[in-house]
Structure 1
Amino acid sequence: MDLLLTIVSGLAWTIVYIEAIRLGFRYKTYAIPVAALGLNFAWETIYGIHGLTETISAQSVINLVWAAADVVIVFTFIRFGRAELPRFVTRPLFIGWTLVVFGVAFAVQALFIGEFGWMGGARYSAFLQNLLMSGLFIAMLVARRGVRGQSMVIAVAKWLGTLAPTILFGALGGHVFILWIGLLCSVLDLIYIGLVWSAKKNPIAFAMPSDAAAQPVTAG
């Protein structure tokens, strides 16, 4: 059961990353909120490399695959991310801000390891940043007033990718903190799934009033 849930999580998040890469290049944007992207890239790089120093497990291999995919998603952010920001954010300021975000992300992971050790740090940081990510995806949909750079594939796969380790470490492993954080992730992920579905079905409802007024009115 442990291996099955690990594989489910690995496949689901790999699907998220592949879809994020596809959408990033298609819509010339980034498909994962930058704070979550920074934390994910730091987590997967640190624990992927650390896994090579120990007995290589399925999770270690998955971490390295995720880290490799993250490199491409980070590229989409660097390539297209400035266009999402106000004009006063110059290219040098954007690069500096990006370095700060990713530097802080690596520092946060190091602090978790220092406080909880490698195993505890990996689990606690992973679930807390997944909770942050779940909220940030909702915020991104609202900020973009629609599903540009987002999809139902990402929404559902992201939910399943977190639900599997919630069952593994929270329900089966008996970690109450992880269980409840994982359940909160599911609540936000299901809300996000509902919002993506609604935005695809009725995009005008997510537009600004001025945008909606500009839409043509059709009979029937």
Structure 2
Amino acid sequence: MVLFLLLSGICWSIVYIELIYVGFKNETYGMPFIALALNFSWEVLYCYLGFTYTPENIQNYITLIWLILDTAVVLTYLIYGKKYFPKYTSKKYFVPWTILIFFMSFVLQYYFVVEFKDLGKLYSAFLQNLVMSILFIHMLITRTDTKGQNLTIAINKWIGTLSPTILYGIIVGNKLILALGIFCSIFDILYIYFLSTTRKLHNQS
């Protein structure tokens, strides 16, 4: 069990480090904003709950590392996100929109705990992961370039989600997590393929 969690922790840490690196290098943000807000709020909430009620759990330390790294990813959005805000919308709405999405994310994460107790942590993690997988494809399609995106991020995101899918979906036997994890893998593999193809086309042009 610990090996699956460590593999996930390592892969997601690589994702965050790479997002930070290419984000500042290319002056962009690489994780779709709504997925980023859900992800960040998940890490804040479960870092707090984990160290408060089960401080001996290794996952708490993994989550803390993710939170520290993800804070820098959020910073790339705050610095560079405004230029991706819809051109037909006033830039003055960037900050209110950002606050609203973060507020929504924290509220949703909180009520996953209220309604599903311990399982809420897993259900929300896999659900937001599925949202993220789909939004990565959407971001690739809607942007005019692949700045902030690369195969290191895509592949490690896939493996980092596949590992807990095997643990909780197959070994533990949670069918909902298995279904969410399978769809995450489908969209992650599609994203890897689309990103690889797009980068090849850009290199040829």
TM-score, shorter chain, exceeding 0.5 = yes
The 2-side partners of 1:146 and 1:90 are apart by 23
- Deviation, structure 1 residue 92: 3.6
Distance apart, 1:86 and its partner CA: 2.9
What is the identity, as a one-letter code, of the residue corresponding to 2:166?
I
Q: Are residues 1:25 and 2:33 paired?
A: no
Q: Distance in 2 between matches of 1:87 and 1:130?
A: 28
Tell me, in whole angstroms, the C-alpha distance in 2 between the residues paired with 1:14 and 1:90.
35
**Structure 2 residue 62 is the aligned partner of structure 1 residue 68:** no
Larger Rg: 1
Q: TM-score, normalised by structure 2?
A: 0.95
Q: 1:55 matched to which residue of 2?
A: 55
Q: Which runs of 5+ in 1 are unaligned?
A: 206-214, 216-220
Confirm whether residue 86 of structure 1 aligns to residue 86 of structure 2: yes
Q: Distance in 1 between matches of 2:151 and 2:56?
A: 33
- Is 1:120 aligned with 2:101? no
Structure 1 residues 31 and 177: CA distance shift in structure 2, 3 A: same
Q: Encode CA deviations 1:27-56: one digit per residue, 9 max, x unaligned.
A: 111110000000000001110111111232
Q: By how many angstroms is 1:204 displaced?
A: 7.9
Shift of 1:100: 0.3
Equivalent position of 1:155 in the other structure: 154
8 Å contact from structure 2 (residues 85, 91) kept in 1: no
One-letter code of the match for 1:6?
L
SS at match of 2:126: helix
Flag structure 2 segments of 5+ consecutive residues without an equivalent: none
Q: Distance in 1 between matches of 2:68 and 2:184?
A: 25
- The answer as to whether partners of 1:134 and 1:189 remain within 8 angstroms in 2 is yes
Residues paired across the two proteins, number? 204
The residue correspondences of 1:66-215 to structure 2 (distance < 5 A) are 66-117=66-117, 119-203=118-202
TM-score normalised by L of structure 1: 0.89
Q: Spell out, residue by residue over 1:140-159, the C-alpha distance to the aligned partner (whole angstroms, 9 max, x if none).
A: 00011342110000000000
The answer (yes or no) to whether the contact 2:161–2:181 under 8 Å persists in 1 is yes
Contact 1:12 1:157 in 2 (8 A): yes
Do 1:8 and 1:164's aligned partners in 2 also have CA atoms closer than 8 Å?
A: yes
Higher relative CO (Cα under 8 Å, sequence separation at least 6) belongs to: 2
Alpha-carbon distance between aligned partners in 2 of 1:31 and 1:70, rounded to the nearest angstrom: 12
Moved over 6 A (4+): none
